[in-house]
C-alpha cells in the first residue's frame, strides 16, 4: 500500500500553487506555506521551516514572476528565483527527499526557429529569465532527486494572467491590439498540476524516470494574438460582445523586459522518461473555462 505523503508546497495564492492544492490533496497532507509563513528572501527562514515540517516532498510553486518589475528590482528577483531554490535543494537533499521546481521558457532568447529541447543552451533576455536560470543551476549544483519543469504562458481562473485580463478588456474596449509574432503554448495551471500529480505517483510507485530538467507545456502552438482570438470565440459563444482584434508586432508594444519571440518547448523527453503528456492547448482552455460552471 502506498503511504500518504507530507507534501510541502511553497506559495499559496499563485496560479500553480492553487491548482496543486486542488489536484494533490488525495496524495496526503499538504503543507501550504504562503508569504506569511515562508520568507523566500530569507535563507535561514527557509531552512527553519523545512526542518520544522520535515516533509516527504517539496514543491516550489512560488516565484517572482513580475517579468517587467524584475528589471527594476533584480536583487528581489534573484533572492526568490535563484537563491531560494538552491536552499530548498540543499534541505531536500539533506532529508533525502525529492524537490519539484517550476521554471520558464524565458531561460531562452527565442531566436531558435524550432521548439527548444532540454539540451539547448539557455540565453535569457532579461532579469527574470536570468534569475530563473540561476535557480535551475543552483538546484543542479546541489544534485539529489529533483525535477525542474519548464513551462510557458501560464493561465488559470485565478490571479493575474492573460486569460482573465483579455476577457475583461475584450468586453470593455471596442478595439484591442495584440502581439502576433511571439509564438508559444498557453498552458493551463491545471495541466501543470495534473502532470505533477502523475510524476509524484510514478515516483511513489518506484517507477521514476531520470531526475533533471524537463519541458512541460500544453501541446500545439499559437501566438498571443491567436490565444486572444480563441478567448474571444468562447466569449461570443456565451453571447457576449467582444472587441475587434488587431495583430501587431512586438516592436509596436514595447515593454521594460524583452520577450522571446519563440517560446515553444519540446516536451517529448517528459513523455519518454516519465510517460507524462499534456493535452492540446485548445482542449485545456475549454476545460479551464468549463470549471466555472
- b/e string for 138-176 if b means 16 or more Cβ within 10 A? bbbebebbbbbbbbbbbbbbebebbbeebbeebeeeeeb
Catalytic annotation present for 128: yes
Among 2, 12, 122, 1, residue whose Cα is nearest residue 62: 12
Strands (DSSP E) along 45-192, which ranges? 57-60, 99-104, 146-151, 154-155, 175-179, 183-184, 187-188
Q: Which residues pair with 280 in a beta bridge?
A: 219
C-alpha cell at 140: 543542479
Per the residue annotation, which of 106, 128, 146, 155 is the catalytic one? Answer: 128
Cα 70 to Cα 49, 78, 81, 97, 154: the distances in Å are 26, 9, 11, 31, 18
Catalytic residues: 128
Amino acid at each position: 500500500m502506498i503511504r500518504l505523503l507530507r507534501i510541502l508546497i511553497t506559495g499559496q495564492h499563485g496560479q500553480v500553487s492553487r491548482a496543486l492544492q486542488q489536484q494533490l490533496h488525495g496524495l496526503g497532507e499538504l503543507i501550504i506555506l504562503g508569504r506569511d509563513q515562508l520568507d523566500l528572501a530569507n535563507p535561514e527562514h527557509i531552512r527553519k521551516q523545512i526542518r520544522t515540517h520535515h516533509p516527504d516532498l517539496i514543491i516550489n510553486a512560488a516565484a517572482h514572476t513580475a517579468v517587467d518589475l524584475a528589471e527594476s528590482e533584480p536583487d528581489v528577483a534573484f533572492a526568490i528565483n535563484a537563491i531560494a531554490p538552491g536552499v530548498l535543494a540543499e534541505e531536500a537533499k539533506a532529508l533525502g527527499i525529492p524537490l519539484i521546481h517550476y521554471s520558464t521558457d524565458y531561460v531562452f532568447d527565442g531566436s531558435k526557429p524550432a521548439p527548444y529541447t532540454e539540451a539547448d543552451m539557455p540565453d535569457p533576455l532579461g532579469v527574470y529569465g536570468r534569475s530563473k536560470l540561476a535557480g535551475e543551476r543552483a538546484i543542479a549544483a546541489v544534485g539529489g532527486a529533483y525535477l525542474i519543469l519548464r513551462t510557458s504562458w501560464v493561465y488559470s481562473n485565478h490571479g493575474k494572467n492573460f486569460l482573465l485580463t483579455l476577457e475583461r478588456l475584450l468586453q470593455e474596449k471596442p478595439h484591442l491590439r495584440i502581439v502576433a509574432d511571439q509564438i508559444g503554448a498557453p498552458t493551463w495551471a491545471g495541466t501543470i498540476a495534473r502532470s505533477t500529480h502523475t510524476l509524484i505517483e510514478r515516483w511513489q510507485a518506484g517507477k521514476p524516470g531520470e531526475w533533471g530538467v524537463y519541458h512541460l507545456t500544453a501541446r500545439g502552438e499559437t501566438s498571443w494574438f491567436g490565444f486572444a482570438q480563441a478567448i474571444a470565440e468562447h466569449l461570443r459563444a456565451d453571447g457576449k460582445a467582444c472587441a475587434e482584434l488587431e495583430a501587431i508586432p512586438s516592436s509596436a508594444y514595447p515593454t521594460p523586459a524583452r520577450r522571446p519571440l519563440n517560446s515553444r518547448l519540446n516536451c517529448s523527453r517528459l513523455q519518454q522518461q516519465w510517460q507524462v503528456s499534456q493535452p492540446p492547448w485548445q482542449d485545456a482552455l475549454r476545460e479551464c473555462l468549463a470549471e466555472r460552471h
